[in-house]
Structure 1
Amino acid sequence: MLQTASCGFGYLALQSLCQSRALAATQPTIPARAKRVIFMCMSGGPAQMDTFDYKPQVGKKKKHPGSVFDFKQHGQSGQWISELLPETARHADRLCVINGMHADTGNHAQSFLQLHTGERLRKRPSMGSWISYGLGSENENLPGFISLNATKPSVYSSAFLPTEFAGTPIGTNGEDMSRATIRDISGTHLPPHVKRDQLDFVQAMNRGHLADRPGDGQLEGVIESMELAFRMQSAAPELLDLSNETEHTLQRYRVGKKLSVGTCRPTDFGRQCLLARRFAEAGVRFIEVNHGGWDQHKNHRRDLKANCETIDAPIAALLDDLATRGLLEDTLLVWGGEFGRPGLVPEDGKDQSGHNANGFTFWLAGGGVKAGYTHGKTTETGSRAVEGKVHFRDLHATILHLLGLSHERLTYDYGGRSHRLTGPEEAKVVHELFA
């Protein structure tokens, strides 16, 4: 098990506060290509054949399922990208598209949990928690893992890992992100030095409690989390305040623009992307950006178009800024959902689609992956992955490897056995994705 030593007790004054050893940045165990991850999670199952996996209708009557929106090739790489994503298409030569993704189940809850934790049924640490545990945070005043527009706590939980590695939620699914904040770190009822004195008193009792329970990782985690929360009082509000961004930047990210069409939730996705850039600049290790409403069983064309319009310009702005600021080369962007969707048959009069876990699309960018590259292939109807297959376990192993972590060595002992993100089953690092 990786060890997380606790700092000694010395909290009598703010200047004597020691840094949290658990969240302190640590060196990767293997050569790293990326330092941080921005995971853009599209919950509900994006329709891959109408976004990044072009399947032209074939035959005289065009009776088989396929793409119902127009596609064009973009960039020198000739990436096929849907007409629904014109701004993202500008970055075609930066994208590493994985068209051979597959998962174990087409049920939302189980597949969504597996995407985040590697497990379908049992409560396990989130990918962000594992990464925070393995690498710590580059900023002692901020969490290692932040979840914007957070969904279910089970997918940003640290589970049996110490509490300080849990994701810090900012906003909840569908909340107005302009009002979202980190709860319970603000308050003007006492001056800072009095708050410090109060915390010192509480922490003295906590340390005494811990002395009687040596090695209690959860209790140590609570102590560390309280110290982090105190330090966050100055750092976090400044990062959440976008008033120092130019009007041009806010417009590029479409901050404040909300669509509420069908199942597309008004989540101010642009604000999330801009906050993700700011948190990445500040040293947060894993930032999850959430957008829901991709479960288009009905009104497929209308709702998919609305979803794509919501995310397109903000993602392009994020890619622009990361590249311009020199952050893209060591920031790994990951885009995708818990599974995909089968294609529509244009002439059957229906506008609804189901679930497809046998073949769907993710894309990566930055962080040491091949740019302008397409990996894997599905059948001509997109029904299943047939070449370059990548399971969630493989994706997890690959992300960890890019960050300098071995998925086999990043373990934690709990309940009498050693656990890892990729679980006991076979997982492979997809080296073909690396630049």
Structure 2
Amino acid sequence: MLQSASCGFGFLAMQALSGQRVAAADSVTPRAKRVIFLCMSGGPAQLDTFDYKPQVGKKPHAGSVVDFKRHGRSGLWVSELMPETAKHADRLCVINGMHADTGNHAQSFLQLHTGEKLRKRPSMGAWINYGLGSENENLPGFISLNAAKHSVYSSEFLPSSFAGTPIGLNGENMSLATIRNIASDHLPPSAKREQLDFIQSMNRNHLADRSGDAKLEGVIETMELAFRMQSMAPELLDLSNETERTLQRYRVGKKLSVGTCRPTDFGRQCLLARRFAEAGVRFIEVNHGSWDQHKDHRRDLKANCETTDAPIAALLEDLAARGLLDDTLVVWGGEFGRPGLTPGDGKNETGHNARGFTFWMAGGGVKPGYVHGRTDETGARAVEGKVHFRDLHATILNLVGLQHDQLTFHHEGRDHRLTGPEDAKVVSELFA
């Protein structure tokens, strides 16, 4: 069965359709129509990317091991390893006070995506797709590129029609990745439509005896979406109409000679993200792994930055040039950060740090050229402007016009939400 996510309506319409009890949402003025989440799996080293901690004084301490410079009118500090992204410093809204509950990869990665670190729950993309519906009835509302884990695109107890459509699983060659099970030429379109109508008539008859079966309703909607996608999705995945200059800017197909990061063709992912955003996909996750630098921090950090820097800059440049950045929220970050290295101790490996790390946003109504929060002098923990994952989720939902405490779904006797039962705050200081 094709895993996809699209509905021409959001969660209030789902209430009428399936009988699920949801809370009516008060109006929130949306600042963004869609989200592109650049997920850096493994824990990017914040001290060597966007949180500069110079190692100065008579007794050197843990901190940044690469050079930084100020960029743009805002004077934002950016690592020398990200020269192309640095050109967009005045578009970035940097959050240096991020923190999470655990430094374990699996649990923190799950919490980043679903709000909970132990139990499987709907992902952020599924919640946003559920809350807003799709902008384009011929495409999924939620797409995950190069997803390594099901938690990235799962809808869990939400109707399956709001789940993400994975393209390129587990680091497969992105030039060969596609949306499975939508292409066939064994029948002409008219015959395929008749075939689907016959199957759907049986599905709806079955639904008549199972009123309020959200899973069955999701299957019916997914099959309709799969049929509609046949005319549009293959064209979006085909980059042959892009100029050679564009392919070069995104570094499509570029291979690295050093480092241990997987050859995921990150540039192709970013270019596809731009194309899907233009076409009206509501939530696009772009995944890049291998930021878990334990053994050779400097080498692997350089390789990861080299892989992602130019494609991200090209994405921001194109979104701005095409008038999409104003209503597209771009989010960058991973499940936690890393402690700094101390000069002169001979070590070149780092661990995990969930007490203080960095995310950044751009576009979508956030404050440009702005730094929120601060870690201590060694970058070990957030000390000002602290933002937890649940606060990040609440803020992202608010930016797309949803109230986090009212976007709920009734399951197993209670109402669930992305931000969970704990207190979560919208970080309005990030808003332009």
TM-score range, shorter chain: over 0.9
Task: Decide which of 408, 423, 427 is 1:411's aligned counterpart.
Answer: 408
Q: Contact between 1:28 and 1:404, CA under 8 Å: does it hold in 2? A: no
The Cα shift of 1:260 comes to: 6.0
Aligned to 1:215: 212
Task: Decide which of 288, 291, 301 is 2:288's aligned counterpart.
Answer: 291
Aligned to 2:224: 227
Q: 1:103 to 1:178 in 2, by over 3 A?
A: same
Q: In structure 1, what residue type is equivalent to 2:57?
A: G
Query: Structure 2 CA distance, aligned partners of 1:28 and 1:169?
Result: 32
Matches within 5 A, 1:192-341: 192-259=189-256, 261-341=258-338
Deviations 1:33-56 (A, max 9, x none): 000000000000000000000000
Task: Decide which of 27, 30, 34 is 2:28's aligned counterpart.
Answer: 30
Query: Structure 2 CA distance, aligned partners of 1:260 and 1:171?
Result: 22
Q: In structure 1, what residue type is equivalent to 2:321?
A: T
Classify the secondary structure of the residue corresponding to 2:379: coil
Deviations 1:372-392 (A, max 9, x none): 000000000000000000000
Query: Structure 1 CA distance, aligned partners of 2:351 and 2:96?
Result: 18
Matches within 5 A, 1:137-156: 137-156=134-153
Query: Structure 2 CA distance, aligned partners of 1:129 and 1:419?
Result: 13
The Cα shift of 1:4 comes to: 1.4
The Cα shift of 1:316 comes to: 0.5
Q: In structure 2, what residue type is equivalent to 1:46?
A: P
The Cα shift of 1:96 comes to: 0.2
The Cα shift of 1:261 comes to: 3.5
Count, aligned residues: 418
Whether 1:366 and 2:363 are equivalent positions in the alignment is yes
Q: In structure 2, what residue type is equivalent to 1:202?
A: I
Whether 1:57 and 2:55 are equivalent positions in the alignment is yes
Classify the secondary structure of the residue corresponding to 2:316: helix
The Cα shift of 1:90 comes to: 0.1
Whether 1:424 and 2:417 are equivalent positions in the alignment is no
Aligned to 1:69: 66
Query: Structure 2 CA distance, aligned partners of 1:203 and 1:28?
Result: 35
Q: Contact between 2:144 and 2:152, CA under 8 Å: does it hold in 1? A: no
Classify the secondary structure of the residue corresponding to 1:307: helix
Deviations 1:370-420 (A, max 9, x none): 000000000000000000000000000000000000001100101000000
Whether 1:356 and 2:366 are equivalent positions in the alignment is no
The Cα shift of 1:6 comes to: 8.1
Classify the secondary structure of the residue corresponding to 1:218: helix
Classify the secondary structure of the residue corresponding to 1:266: coil
The Cα shift of 1:221 comes to: 0.5
Superposition TM-score, scaled by structure 1 size: 0.94
Q: Contact between 1:150 and 1:173, CA under 8 Å: does it hold in 2? A: yes
The Cα shift of 1:247 comes to: 0.6
Q: 1:325 to 1:372 in 2, by over 3 A?
A: same
Query: Structure 1 CA distance, aligned partners of 2:227 and 2:30?
Result: 31
Aligned to 2:90: 93
Task: Decide which of 110, 115, 128 is 2:112's aligned counterpart.
Answer: 115
Q: Contact between 1:260 and 1:266, CA under 8 Å: does it hold in 2? A: no
Classify the secondary structure of the residue corresponding to 2:232: helix
Query: Which runs of no fewer than 5 residues in structure 2 stay unpaired?
Result: 1-10
Q: Contact between 1:2 and 1:412, CA under 8 Å: does it hold in 2? A: no
The Cα shift of 1:60 comes to: 2.2
Deviations 1:94-134 (A, max 9, x none): 00000000000000000000000001011100000000000
The Cα shift of 1:173 comes to: 2.4
Name the stretch that deviates more: 148-157 or 95-104: 148-157
Matches within 5 A, 1:355-394: 355-394=352-391
Classify the secondary structure of the residue corresponding to 1:277: helix
Aligned to 1:184: 181
Whether 1:396 and 2:393 are equivalent positions in the alignment is yes
- Runs (4+) of structure 1 moved beyond 2 Å? 258-263
Aligned to 2:126: 129
Q: Contact between 1:28 and 1:403, CA under 8 Å: does it hold in 2? A: no
The Cα shift of 1:2 comes to: 3.3
CA RMSD, 1 decimal:
1.7
Aligned to 1:2: 12
Query: Which runs of no fewer than 5 residues in structure 1 stay unpaired?
Result: 8-21
Q: How many percent of aligned residue pairs carry the same amino acid?
A: 80
Q: In structure 2, what residue type is equivalent to 1:305?
A: K
The Cα shift of 1:154 comes to: 2.1
